[in-house]
Structure 1
Amino acid sequence: MANVFIIGATGGVGRRLGRLLVQSGHRVIGLYRKPEQAADLTEDGMSPVEGDMIEMTPDQLADAARGADVIVFTAGAAGSGLDRTTAIDGDGPAKAIEAAGHLGITRLYLVSAFPEAGRQRERKSGFEHYMAEKKRADVAVAASDLDWVILRPGTLTDEEGRDTVTMGPAIMYGAIARETVARALHALIEQPSVRREIIELTDGPTPIKEAVAALRQG
């Protein structure tokens, strides 16, 4: 059983992941920002802890994560402005790395962005800034001495989740449901031998467990 601290536990991927982890017997601590979100996390079986990722110091983040042995970072500014993108998507993972160091946590999972994300659509202002901040976070995580996994899903949708994917270090771009991303993350967390990997992820034909096993063997 793992003790998992989810940064972004109230988001589309984070909340789904929390439910899956709880259902399979793991303990989950979920970070939330708005007071009304605590009840939702409790209802899902998570232990809610209040904190604003932008305002929190690494020490405060470590206090929130106390008792965890895995950190999942799936928070994002979601187009709420350049400054918030910098503070959450760019600076946030570095705070998580430092918090992990304070607690002796060695495992970190970062939900990042597929390099081609959104480039086939009309792009909103700030898109290149968003991608640059995601890249900056990836570099910080990959340079750390943690057992990290960087997951880069394609375009996120709210379609029904699947148990099959395409997963690998370099794959063709595509879409994927948030529920499917959560299932893939769940499988990766339960297979700690997959570490120090950058993994691209889209919908596809391979059962998730088989895809994760192939990474482990590779």
Structure 2
Amino acid sequence: MAHPRIVVVGGSGKVALRFTHLARSHFSVSSLVRNEAHFGAIQDAGGSPRLLSIEDATVGDLKSEFEGARGVLFAAGAGGKGGKDRTRKVFDAIEQLNGPKPYLVLVGALDTRDTSKPPPAHYTQEDIEGSKKAHEAIGAYYDAKLAADQNLSRRTSFSWTILRPGHLLDEEPKGKVTAGRTGMGGVTRADVASSLLALFNLALSPSSSSTSSDKPQASGLAIDLIQGKETDKPVEEAIREAVQRGESSLE
């Protein structure tokens, strides 16, 4: 039986390539990239590259790529040329599909929020200070992420989840994370990739399709992801428990 297909938007990134490598035994992965120079890396990871610039693509172009897919992973960076528009185009394309729509997982960012409002109640003083420094350093990045999160939160015709990792580390995977509603922190790119796969497995595994609802339990959640805490648990367990708790950091 053919594996369910996932389309990765921004398939040449470090997290996306790690995800493709991990997912290849579970899913058929198509990766959209704007440069043929990335084809080799995607193929080495086990994916099928597709040449399509998200910045220049129409909603119709994206809709064609998403036809028949069970999942879409949006792993493209925020900002840059057409940053907000390209994100919205992906959402619009999924929304306009006829028949069953793919489950979308958006790679967001920890601490994406309206800084004119008080910080989350669970933040420690250290978290608050770290948050202030982060927003001062890369405010435009957070603005783009917040716009994407807010736009997605208004979509109700398809299932979606936002995974919000902390600052990304190029280290060996730890295999354990803290997920749900967290303070500030970091996480390896490899463990982010594993967490993304855990979300797709929860949503698209045969057992999940037998539930009374056609939406995965994680639909509508924004899940923070860090590690190096006493609360760390194995990735699949941490993600599953966060979904079961229904914790969301979306404003």
Percent identical across equivalent pairs?
Answer: 29
Deviations 1:130-168 (A, max 9, x none): 211110100111110121101111001111112100100
Corresponding residue to 1:9 among 4, 8, 11? 11
The aligned amino acid for 2:224 is E
Aligned with residue 132 of structure 1, among 143, 146, 171: 143
Partner residue in 2 for 1:215: 242
* Contact preservation (8 Å) 1:5, 1:70: yes
**Hey, what's the Cα distance between the residues in 1 that align with 2:40 and 2:219?**
33
* Residue 233 (structure 2) pairs with residue 206 (structure 1): yes
User: What secondary structure sits across from 1:129 in the alignment?
Assistant: helix
* 1:153 matched residue in structure 2: 165
Aligned AA (2:17): R
Residues 183-205 of structure 1, C-alpha deviation per residue, up to 9 Å, x if partnerless?
00000110013221110000142
* Residue segments in structure 2 that go unaligned for 5+ positions in a row: 113-129, 204-215, 246-251
Report the equivalent of 2:91.
97
Q: Does residue 62 in structure 1 map to residue 51 in structure 2?
A: no
Partner of 1:34: 35
Match of 1:195 among 219, 224, 247: 219
2-structure distance, mates of 1:100, 1:122:
31
Letter in 2 for 1:185: L
**Amino acid paired to 2:86:** G
**2:153 corresponding residue in structure 1:** 142
Aligned to 1:210, the other structure's residue is in SS state helix
Task: Tell me the SS of whatever aligns to 1:191.
Answer: helix
Equivalence for 2:110: 114
3-state secondary structure, aligned to 2:236: helix
**Aligned AA (1:8):** G
Does the 8 A contact of 1:155 with 1:174 survive in 2? yes
8 A contact 1:118–1:155 mirrored in 2:
no
Q: Secondary structure at the match of 1:36?
A: helix
- Larger Rg belongs to: 2
How far residue 122 of structure 1 moved from its aligned partner, in angstroms, is 9.3
Q: Tell me the number of residue pairs that the alignment of Structure 1 and Structure 2 aligns.
A: 207
**2:177 matched to 1:176?**
no
Q: What is the identity, as a one-letter code, of the residue corresponding to 2:16?
A: G
Q: CA 1:75–1:209 in structure 2 vs 1: closer, same or farther (change >3 Å)?
A: same
1:118 Cα offset (Å): 6.7
Distance of aligned partners of 1:198 and 1:187 in 2 relative to their CA distance in 1, 3 Å threshold: same
Letter in 2 for 1:151: L
| 2:69 and 2:102 in contact (8 A); partners too | no
Please report the TM-score for the alignment, with normalisation by the length of structure 2. 0.76
Tell me, in whole angstroms, the C-alpha distance in 1 between the residues paired with 2:43 and 2:80: 31
- The whole-number CA distance in structure 1 between the counterparts of 2:132 and 2:15 is 22
Deviations 1:29-78, CA, capped at 9 Å, x for gaps: 0011111111221222211110111111111112223331211101015x
Where in structure 1 do 4 or more consecutive aligned residues deviate above 3 Å? 116-124
Partner of 1:164: 176
